[in-house]
Amino acid sequence: MGRQVAQAVAAESDFQLVGLCDLREIPADHVEAFAPDAALGTHLAGVIAESSPNIMVDFTDAAAGSPNILTAIDAGVSPVVGTTGFALEAIDEIDARARAAGIGAFIAPNFALGAVMLMRLCETAAPFFEHVEIIELHHDKKIDAPSGTAYQTACGIVDARGRPAAHVPTEKFTLEGVRGGDHEGVKVHSVRLPGLVAHQEVIFGDLGQTLTIRHDSTSRESFMPGVVLAIRKVRSLTGLVVGLDRLLFT
């Protein structure tokens, strides 16, 4: 994702890619074709100090993401973040620090525009179906489950219904856990396999009918238009905004 984001940023004529940071040293010849003048390093604060960016894009994990975000905010740099799994306390701290610094910050569980449309369509359908289950499928290197997108989808469905989804009891389990996780009646199932990128299927059911809404990201390129959109808008935000729908529909 880091390489994909770097190339997408460099391809925009009104953006300048000024710095790149990774846990491992980045060979200059790996980026000279699209960012020959970018500062390179393994220490985020040092790269920020050397390159003086306006915006930082972070795709790491929740453990690294929170200190990275706060490092950027303390330097007056607006973070655009594709990491999920933050604790509520971390979200609150990021928002407070961004507001105190007078800058915007942005986190999205999913940057694919189609995934955001899926969530919006699910919220539209939710009040009309009593039963719903979510199946999310990701590559085998994804460290958290369920995905942030699946969890946000489940939350959005329950909020749109104004009540939990209907519970379907299972009398006998041959294997524990096969009915998936449960968020207020919305069952969530996680699949992790090599060959997948990011996929989600939401199945609504009622008497005599089902409604299936599905989105597939077959390449990480699918996330880049959303990343570019967030980069363009983050400096106009105040405090922390979570979710690409907040940029698309408000």
| Residues identified as active-site | 138, 142
**Would you say 184 and 164 are in contact if contact means Cβ atoms under 8 Å apart?**
yes
- Buried b vs exposed e over 24-53: b needs ≥16 C-beta within 10 Å? eebeeeebeeebeebbbbeebeebbeebeb
The letter for the amino acid at 217 is: S
Q: State CA 114 to chain mean position distance.
A: 13
Q: Which of 191, 125, 109 lies closest to 158 in space, CA to CA?
A: 125
Start-end of H helices in 52-183: 62-74, 88-101, 113-125, 148-161
Q: How far apart are CA 14 and CA 173, in angstroms?
A: 57
**Would you say 145 and 190 are in contact if contact means Cβ atoms under 8 Å apart?**
yes
Q: Tally the C-alpha atoms within 13 A of residue 115's C-alpha that lie toward its C-beta.
A: 29
DSSP letter for each residue of 23-57:
SS---HHHHTTT-TT-EEES-HHHHHHHH--SEEE
Retrieve residue 96's tokens: 């407070």
Residue 90 has a CB neighbour count (10 Å cut-off) of 16
